[in-house]
Amino acid sequence: MNITNNTFLLRLVVAVILLMHSIPGMFDNGINNFGKLYLNEAGFAPIGLPLAWAIKLSHIVCAFCFLFNRYVKPAAILTIIILIAGIVMVHLKEGWYVVGGGRNGIEFNVLLIAVLVTVMFPDGFKKATVV
């Protein structure tokens, strides 16, 4: 775990968020319900349950990638894809706000995507130098 890296705090917080979004569902039937009651009904049957588990297990693997600063770009890309799917399938119809002006909107996912892009490109987007 490289705590001297300038993205450590962001990577740590994203890892905690991913772990807390996944691990409780393994023990309270949340993942099974997500797969059976949401994904299967949304047209993913009969693979809704395995897909739900794949998503949550990917969150755990990606969390450790972020913690140990290994395979960060692939982990961020995979997580961003899942977040965008969540925006399209769940959150967009709820609007922008997670709380306050609405409920379950896209603002949290948008913030996480911005954080993950920052983690992937900590020095910003550099223009290639032609020599």
Task: Give the chain's end-to-end CA distance (angstroms, integer).
Answer: 36
Q: What predicted TM-score, i.e. pTM, was given to this entire model?
A: 0.91
Distances (CA, A) of 124 to 74, 78, 114, 119, 120: 17, 20, 12, 10, 9
Q: Give the span between the Cα atoms of 53 and 26, in whole angstroms.
A: 9
CB 71 within 8 A of CB 60: no
Q: Taking the mean position of all CA atoms in its chain, how far away is CA 122?
A: 18
pLDDT, tens digit (0-9, with 9 covering 90-100), for 34-57? 999 999 999 999 999 999 999 999
Q: Look at residue 24 and tell me whether its pLDDT is greater than 90.
A: yes
Q: Look at residue 109 and tell me whether its pLDDT is greater than 80.
A: yes
Band (pLDDT 50/70/90 cuts) for residue 126 is confident
Boundaries of every domain in the chain: 8-120
The string of DSSP letters for 41-72 reads IIIITTSHHHHHHHHHHHHHHHHHHHHHTSSH
Q: Enter the tokens of residue 74.
A: 């692939």
